[in-house]
Amino acid sequence: MAGSHAVAVTDGTFQAEVEQVPGLVLVDFWAEWCGPCRVIAPVLEQLAAEYAGKLKIAKLDVDANQQTPIRFNVRSIPSLLLFKGGKHVDTVVGAVPKAHLVGKITPHL
């Protein structure tokens, strides 16, 4: 993820990188083989740049990290979970348009 605005998280770093962050964090549950995950990745990069300082984008590879998806009942990917102050506040499933994500993020800023 060179040049990426997103932060890679794992089962081991999820608590520190997501649940202990006071602000807003959008976690992308994805996998390398997932076509829709690749479709939404550039949108997430745009959001990370546009909301720099207001929104943290984290990516969790569900193949390499299986405990966290189970914990949050992630059954389909991409699943985008929004956390505010460490609490899960919203979920978006699938490769949705950027405007849809902005609509989910804005009320929590």
Alpha-carbon distance of 57 to 42, in angstroms, equals 12
What pLDDT sits at residue 3? Answer: 55
**83 in a structural domain:** yes
Q: What domain range includes position 69?
A: 7-108
**2 in a structural domain:** no
Residue with tokens 């985008």: 80
Is 73 among the catalytic positions? no
**37 in a structural domain:** yes
Q: Go through the chain and tell me how many residues it has.
A: 109
CATH number at residue 74: 3.40.30.10
Of the candidates 49, 21, 20, 18, the residue with the CA atom closest to the CA atom of residue 29: 18
Number of domains in the chain: 1
Token digits for 50?
Answer: 């546009």
Is 34 among the catalytic positions? yes
- Tens-digit pLDDT profile for residues 17-49: 999 999 999 999 999 999 999 999 999 999 999
Q: Which of 27, 37, 40, 58 is catalytic?
A: 37
